[in-house]
């Protein structure tokens, strides 16, 4: 029975993870929140899953390396420095980092890549996302994940070739740019739609999360898969055999 340690236990995702771990036939080795000892948790676990905050990532990675256990990172709002830390940790342990652990979103990103690669730049790409009123980062990690899938398909740099937060007289959208719109309100777990808009026709690819359990189940599947992998950096598409 795989022992999974939860970093961010008291949060809404932490609670969903507890249920999903038991549902999958694994065991919860323990959990910590702010001020907890990640190394002690890592030593009691076969794999860690982190849904805490970016500021805690370095200590969590250090603990995983010290205990030689793999870690699944679902924390969003990561910056370039955090990805450098993850790359460094992947030299020693198996690390899977993703902006969304949902299996449906993972497949959606695959479809977005396929569509963006087969349709030319005369098809504009816009990504709209909506989350609950308490979410603190925007665009969401999932929206950025979908944007990266589209950008890779077209050989773009998402940081350079995206448009966000349009307001006022912005002028026409740049050719080839990927647009983002973020909505916040209520208790929405996560809605994402990728629009591919051509002349006189439009494709809409949508995923709606009705419960955080979809993320928790995907994260547990990732944990069970990652447990048997050698050191390296992994992604959710690999869990589904898409990469």
Q: Two tokens at 61?
A: 């990675």
Catalytic residue among 34, 82, 113, 135: 135
Residue carrying the six token digits 């709209």: 128
From 113, 131, 192, 207, active-site residue: 131
Contact (CB, 8 A) for 17 and 217? no
Q: Is 135 a catalytic residue?
A: yes
Is residue 131 annotated as part of the catalytic site, yes or no?
Answer: yes
Q: Which residues of 169-198 are buried (b: 16+ CB within 10 A; e: fewer)?
A: eeeeeeebbbbbbbeeeeebbbbbbbbbee
Closest C-alpha among 181, 118, 173 to residue 146: 181
CA distance 190 to 150: 19
Q: What is the DSSP string of 231-242?
A: SEEE-HHHHTT-
Cα radius of gyration rounded to whole Å, the chain: 18
Q: 3-state DSSP: the chain helix, strand, coil percent, rounded to 5? A: 35, 25, 40
**Residues noted as catalytic:** 131, 135
């Amino acid at each position: 029975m795989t022992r999974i340690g939860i970093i961010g236990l008291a949060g809404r995702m932490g609670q969903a993870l507890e249920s999903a771990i038991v549902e999958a036939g694994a065991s919860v080795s323990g959990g910590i929140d702010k001020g907890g000892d990640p190394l002690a948790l890592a030593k009691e676990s076969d794999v860690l899953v982190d849904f805490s905050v970016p500021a805690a990532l370095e200590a969590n990675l250090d603990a995983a390396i010290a205990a030689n256990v793999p870690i699944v990172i679902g924390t969003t709002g990561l910056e370039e420095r955090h990805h450098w830390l993850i790359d460094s940790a992947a030299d020693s342990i198996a690390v899977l980092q993703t902006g969304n652990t949902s299996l449906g979103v993972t497949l959606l990103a695959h479809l977005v890549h396929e569509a963006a690669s087969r349709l030319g730049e005369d098809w504009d790409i816009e990504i709209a996302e909506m989350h609950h009123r308490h979410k603190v980062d925007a665009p969401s990690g999932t929206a950025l994940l979908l944007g990266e899938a589209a950008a890779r398909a077209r050989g773009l740099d998402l940081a350079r070739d995206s448009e966000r937060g349009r307001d006022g007289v912005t002028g026409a959208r740049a050719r080839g740019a990927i647009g983002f719109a973020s909505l916040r309100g209520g208790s929405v777990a996560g809605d994402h739609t990728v629009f591919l808009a051509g002349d006189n026709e439009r494709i809409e690819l949508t995923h709606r999360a009705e419960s955080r359990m979809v993320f928790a189940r995907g994260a547990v599947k990732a944990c069970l898969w990652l447990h048997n992998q050698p050191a390296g950096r992994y992604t959710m598409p690999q869990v589904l055999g898409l990469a």
